[in-house]
Structure 1
Amino acid sequence: MTTPMWRQPKTVWSIAFACVISFMGIGLVDPILKPIADELGAGPSQVSLLFTSYLAVMGVAMLGTGWVSSRVGAKRTLLLGLALIIVGAALAGRQDTVGGIVAFRALWGLGNALFIATALATIVNAASGSVKQAIILYEAALGVGIATGPLLGGWLGGISWRWPFYGVAVLMAIAFIATTTTLPKTPPAAQPTSISAPLRALGHRGLLTVGITALLYNFGFFTLLAFTPFPLAMGAHQIGFIFFGWGLLLAITSVFVAPMVQRRFGTMAGISGALLGFAAILAVMAIATDNKTVLIVGVILAGAFLGVNNTLITETVMKIAPVERGVASAAYSFVRFSGGAIAPWLAGNLGERSIHLPFWVGSAAVVLAVLVLLTARTIISALDEAPGHGAEPVTSRTEAEALTVGDA
Structure 2
Amino acid sequence: MTLQSRNPSPAPATAGPGRRGVVGGLLGVGAGALAAPLLTACGSGAAADPKTVTFGSNGADATPRSAYAAVTKAFGEKSGLTVKTNTVDHDTFQKSISNYLQGTPDDVFTWFAGYRMQYFAKKKLCSPLDDVWEKIGSGFSEATKQLSRGEDGTYYFVPLYNYPWAVFYRKSLFKERGYAIPRTWSEFTALARQMQKDGLSPIASGYGGGDSWSILGTFDYLNLRTNGYEFHMSLMRGEVSWTDRRATATLDHWRQLAPYYQKGGGGRSWQDAAQSLLDKKAGMAVIGLFLGQQITDETLRADIDFFPFPEIDPAHGQDTVEAPTDGFMLSRRPKNEEGAKRFLEFLGSAQAENQYMGVDPSNVAVHRNAGTGSYNDLQKKSAELIASAKHITQFGDRDSDPGFVSTVVLPGLTEWLGHPDDGSALLKKIESQRSRFFTA
Length-normalised TM-score, structure 2:
0.25
Structure having greater relative contact order (Cα 8 Å, sep ≥ 6) = 1
Higher Cα Rg: structure 1 or 2? 2
User: Higher helix share goes to which structure?
Assistant: 1
**TM-score, structure 1 normalization:** 0.26
